[in-house]
Amino acid sequence: MNLSVIVTSFNHGIYVEKCLNSILDNRIPATELIICDDASTDNSVDLISKWVKKNHGKLKHIYFYSNQRNIGTSATINQLISQSKGEIIAGVASDDIVVSEGLSARTNYLIRNKHLDGAFSDGIAIDLQENLYAESLLLSSGIDKTSLDSKNIRNTVLTNWTEPMNLQFWRRSAFKVHGGEFEFTSDVGCEDLQFALWALSRNAFGFLDRKCVAYRCRSWPQTAPNTSKATLRKRLLDMAIIYGRSAELFENPIKRYLVKKAEYHLAVACENYGYATALDKNLKKDIKQSLSDIISSAILRY
């Protein structure tokens, strides 16, 4: 079996059927589809259950699990990966749409590039109503594709982490549960950044110059103007912790650079998305201490 498609679902009832249909339309031989709903409070579970019943047999294997309590995206992905049998694993968010031939392009890319543990592709940007926002996620994010060749991808991803780099697919053997070394840390989000930094430290992260997904830009001010400050703050804090933890994977000067990135994201989270309550202020103090502990244990002071 070459490909496992894993879908994480949480409160995307209005999008999930279109997502699953797009995967079905992309079917390739020996594909398995594994879906896990992370305790949605909308009608996602009911919709997915009905879709699976209707379409069972159209792929060789379709599995659906539902968490009894919300455990977060990273932990849910770990669950799905542990169940995967495909050599290649393609992660799909339940509000996104896989474009024609997007799955086969991802599979073939990693089959050809056996030295890579994972990669990301370009995509089309759509807003919450599926209006086209940009023909290329990369170009709309200001990324020059020529900077993503094998010689430059490490510097580009480290210095310009942006939305398209979330559109990842992975080699099953990279994961600890299947004999590799990597596992998503479930206490923070931004799971794609976690994997990218780990794979970059091994020079094993690539770029597929193909638009494989129509990506719903939920956190862009232009496409989702009602994104809460709490959501943006949480993302920045998660990124700060991931950069701090990942610094130990690299030698200087990259190690020092990632510490600076961690400190910068922490400062932006705490100052630009200020804390209004006593609880928030305590959280700010705890996060600072946590990051300080991460950095001091992983990095020689500079």
| Amino acid 89: pLDDT | 97
In this structure, which topology does domain 3-216 adopt according to CATH?
Spore Coat Polysaccharide Biosynthesis Protein SpsA; Chain A (3.90.550)
| CA 67 – CA 52 distance, rounded (Å) | 17
Check residue 160 and give its pLDDT.
Answer: 92
Q: What is the DSSP string of the chain?
A: --EEEEEEESS-TTTHHHHHHHHHHT--TTEEEEEEE---SSSHHHHHHHHHHHHTTSSSEEEEEE-SS---HHHHHHHHHHH--SSEEEEEETT-EEPTTHHHHHHHHHHH-TT-SEEEEEEEEE-TT--EEES-HHHHTT--GGGGSTTTHHHHHHH---GGGG-EEEEGGGBGGGTSSB---TTSS-HHHHHHHHHHHTT-EEEEEEEEEEEE-SS-TTT-TT--HHHHHHHHHHHHHHHHHHGGGS-TTHHHHHHHHHHHHHHHHHHHT---SHHHHHHHHHHHHHHHHHHHHHS---
- Give CA separation, 23 vs 8, 16, 28, 94, 212, in Å: 13, 11, 10, 11, 11
**pLDDT of 158:** 95
Indicate yes or no: pTM above 0.95.
no
Instruction: Report the C-alpha gap between 190 and 188 in whole angstroms.
Output: 7
Looking at beta carbons, which pairs linking 75-78 to residues 24 or more positions away fall under 8 Å?
Answer: 75/184, 75/186, 76/8, 76/36, 76/38, 77/6, 77/8, 77/184, 77/191, 78/177, 78/183, 78/184, 78/186
DSSP string, 114-147: TT-SEEEEEEEEE-TT--EEES-HHHHTT--GGG
pLDDT value of position 208: 98
Token pair of 120 as six digits:
């990301």
Cα dist from 2 to 85, 108, 280, whole Å: 8, 9, 46
pLDDT in tens, 149-194: 999 999 999 999 988 899 999 999 999 999 999 999 988 889 999 9
Residue ranges covered by each domain of the chain: 3-216, 229-298
pLDDT for position 273: 56
pLDDT of amino acid 70: 95
- Ranges of residues in the chain with a pLDDT under 70 are 1, 29-30, 218-227, 272-302
Tell me what pLDDT residue 289 has. Answer: 55
